[in-house]
Chain A
């Protein structure tokens, strides 16, 4: 993709690499907890899409500001090297924020679907979304205290997941555990990097 002229600043910017990873799952499943366990959390305000929608139904110029609603979200930032930074985006769970997903998913390394075994159905839409778009993902089961433990194979059956798709037990509060989840995702993506669909 052409991004303007190749001057000195452009060269410096090219060496700076930013990688996106998505974190999806139902409300209250621990997305923010997991992001916070492994990265620096930064706040982000977005609101443009609600504005775009309003523009279609309202021809009066200059009133866009009246219909915008700020959507607050957090993202995580992990500096792996000076020139390599990982960004973790917890996708807003509610369906009305799904417009954000397409942008977040574009060019992403892959996604983690965080699930709670007590409310497995909450992650169906996320799994459906990533399968349809062929975005690689792993499923992480956040093991809440007091929740009955299921085997990963029970969960695979319940979620109708392919045999090779990694399902990991995790504790979203633990840095090591959150790290392992991300490592599983990257390993999964690397393992399938030779497949024809993957250039």
Chain B
């Protein structure tokens, strides 16, 4: 019979580290809220204290070297959106990433030129 420790460490049990353990239990991020399609880009700033960052911070930072949206990052690192938001806010506080609002953060405010570009883009698919 397996010991208590072994019993839970199979694939069925899910990740051994709970997602929010990566954020030291924090479920809310610091600073201004950002949309799930806000664009994240690395500022190119130096990491002053690499010990303060988790490997997941580094993965997220790596992905944002090209402007990338929050959802794309969450999908690519395979972590829950809420966890990725906290990691991104940490990186923003350290000045390592900039987070830009999407085209429109309010309902019905996408400008006509952008709408036309979307229309042309779809027709050309």
Contacts and interface: CB of A to CB of B under 8 A. Distances in A.
Contacts of B82: 46-48, 51
Contacts of A12: 41, 67
Contacts of B18: 65
Contact of A44 (B34, B74, B97): B74
A119 B34 CA distance: 37
A9 B98 contact: yes
Given A9-B97, A136-B108, A179-B122, A64 B27 contact: yes
Contacts of A131: none
Chain B interface size, as a band, is: 35 or more
A51 B112 CA distance: 39
Contacts of B71: 42, 44, 75, 87
B42 interface: yes
A80 B105 contact: no
Contact of B109 (A70, A81, A107): A107
Contacts, number: 184
A177 B73 CA distance: 30
B77 to A, nearest CB: 10
A68 B19 contact: yes
A154 B16 CA distance: 54
Interface string B34-75: 111111111110000000000000000000000101011011
A85 B69 contact: yes
B78 interface: yes
B114 A186 contact: no
Contacts of A1: 101, 105
Contacts of A42: 71-72, 75
A183 B123 contact: yes
Interface residues of A, number: 66
A164 interface: no
B119 A106 contact: no
Given A51-B82, A187-B119, 10 more contacts: A8-B44, A12-B41, A12-B67, A13-B98, A14-B39, A44-B71, A44-B75, A55-B27, A107-B106, A199-B108
Interface of B: 18-21, 25, 27, 32, 34-44, 67, 69, 71-72, 74-75, 78-82, 85, 92, 97-110, 112, 114-119, 121-125
20 contacts: A3-B38, A13-B41, A13-B99, A17-B103, A18-B38, A42-B71, A45-B81, A46-B81, A48-B85, A55-B27, A64-B20, A64-B27, A65-B21, A77-B72, A87-B69, A103-B36, A107-B105, A107-B109, A179-B125, A193-B115
